[in-house]
Structure 1
Amino acid sequence: MKLNLFSALAASALLLGCATSSNSVTNNKLPKPIQLFNGKDIKDWTPKIRLHEVGENYANTFRVEDGLLKVRYDGYDDFKQQYGHLAYNKAFGYYLLKVEYRFVNEQVKGGEGWAWRNSGAMLHGQDPKTMLKDQDFPISIEGQFLGGNGKDARTTSNLCTPGTNVVMKEKLFTPHCISSTSNTYHGDQWVTAEFLVLGDSVIKHILDKQVVLEYQKPQIGGGNVDKYDPAQKQDGKLLDKGFIYLQSESHPIDFRKVELYDLSPYKNNKAKLDQVVELLTK
């Protein structure tokens, strides 16, 4: 059957439209967020506090009250460098993590000056079951949370690297910490920190819809972690997945949301991955 020119053009446009729509992502096809914190308990999490065995929630440091995941120290006489970390029980590699947090109350006795209004989300962390009793921090990439003192500038969503290194501006970055370009968040206000983690390629720290820090090739290496099992520290090994931890560093903090968008289904399709990320972060 012959097609006239108009029919042929219409058919081509229809086919092109179908092809375009099949490769696009709409809002109703976006991944649903996984609520890592369910608002009720921490049964899906494992505590690891320095000087204590894996799984021991010393002095009820991590607790759920009023629908919030709280870090508290009312059972401590002195902090004694008992750095704590709460690990979600599943590892992830490609994801967008959203954490809503606020600092409250006063720092516990014995907390270091640098740890005042200091906490964080640890990314690509080692399995908590592999941490030794006296280990201070998990080998991981830390998205550091800092609160302001009411007058001075103090950025948040910074980078710290316990037992790790990253690449920045095509060079291996080996200092322990680097500040982001964020604003300062004073007082007890809620802050939403986002972390876009794409395997061992790139990690972006996002605040108020702006990328405030970006780096590539997270990997094991360097210092700033103590009393670890040497078998867990394979320097130079790229980190393409790992466990997510929330931190206890001597200042009380609340978390009201910890949610994750799993991006692993898109990791082999850059066009779709870029579309999904754009929609989730706009």
Structure 2
Amino acid sequence: MKPHFFLPLLFFSFLSLQGFAQTTSLFDGKTLKGWYMDIPDLEKDSSLRIPFIVREGMLVSLGNPQGHLISEKEYENYRLEVEYRFPGKPGNCGVLVHASTPRSLYGMFPKSIEVQMMHQNAGDFWCIVEDIQVPDMEVRRGPKEDWGITEGKERRIKNLTDDSEKPLGQWNHMVIECKADNITVWLNGDLVNKGYAATAKKGQIALQAEGAEVEFRKVELTQLN
């Protein structure tokens, strides 16, 4: 056999040793397959509109009634890429990672760590009956005696930048990397948050309906080795 025939085999063996980074789209552009909704007010009144829809190839959170679109699967050690924009009036929304017990906070939010998408605050962490640490904790979270993970406590950990968001109407590219007990967030190429010692290492992923309409054109997950 000629030596060059060995090259593809050697290359494949190298890739096998390194491991493949498997990327999966969590949104197929047509349906909400792989997700389910938890909308408390919709349970009480079935005549209310459904707040998560597919429109023109985009996953859209209409904002109200408020609640969550939750992945059917749990994930651990991954990189999540989300492209989103506020098409109209800016407002509040977020991506929740390591989500588990539903309605653990204010009868609405699942136990999780939120990566904030709220206009002018994108990249903040919000602790929702889970916790995470960052450097300069008191500067970014406030007095230590106020910290907590339940109602009435200081659950917000401010991000690292003030100008990483695109102008309203333009697409933002957010990357959330969850590896062991670390969570790192980039927004439009800027490092906007990095936490460690998270109290959860795996769970579901959730998108919020929290008052403002938000369009998502990409929700992709790459499994990390």
Q: 1:210 to 1:250 in 2, by over 3 A?
A: same
Question: Residue 168 of structure 1 corresponds to which residue in structure 2?
Answer: 134
Q: Distance in 2 between matches of 1:177 and 1:258?
A: 24
TM-score by length of 2: 0.77
CA positional deviation for 1:120: 0.6
Q: Distance in 2 between matches of 1:123 and 1:92?
A: 9
Of 169, 172, 178, the match for 1:197: 178
**Retained in 1: the 8 A contact 2:172–2:188?**
no
Q: 1:92 to 1:252 in 2, by over 3 A?
A: same
Q: 1:251 to 1:90 in 2, by over 3 A?
A: same
Question: Residue 141 of structure 1 corresponds to which residue in structure 2?
Answer: 113
Query: Given residue 94 of structure 1, which amino acid in structure 2 is its aligned partner?
Result: N
SS at match of 2:22: coil
Q: Distance in 2 between matches of 1:243 and 1:121?
A: 11
Question: Residue 85 of structure 1 corresponds to which residue in structure 2?
Answer: 68
Question: Residue 84 of structure 2 corresponds to which residue in structure 1?
Answer: 101
2:152 is equivalent to residue 177 of structure 1: no
RMSD: 2.9
Q: 1:23 to 1:60 in 2, by over 3 A?
A: closer
Task: Deviation per CA, 1:157-185: give whole Å up to 9, x if none.
Answer: 21111222212239797331122123233
Q: 1:38 to 1:167 in 2, by over 3 A?
A: same
CA positional deviation for 1:72: 1.9
Q: Distance in 1 between matches of 2:188 and 2:47?
A: 33
Q: 1:105 to 1:166 in 2, by over 3 A?
A: same
Q: Which has the higher contact order (CA 8 A, sep 6+)?
A: 2
Q: 1:126 to 1:252 in 2, by over 3 A?
A: same
Of 21, 24, 34, the match for 1:34: 24
Query: Superposition pairs for residues 43-82 of structure 1, below 5 Å?
Result: 43-53=33-43, 58-72=48-62, 82=65
Task: Deviation per CA, 1:30-63: give whole Å up to 9, x if none.
Answer: 4231110110100211111133449x89512100
Q: 1:103 to 1:42 in 2, by over 3 A?
A: same
TM-score by length of 1: 0.62
Question: Residue 4 of structure 2 corresponds to which residue in structure 1?
Answer: none
Pick which of 246-255 and 43-52 moved more: 43-52
Of 210, 214, 235, the match for 2:194: 214
Q: List alignment gaps of at least 5 residues for structure 2.
A: 1-10, 142-146, 148-153
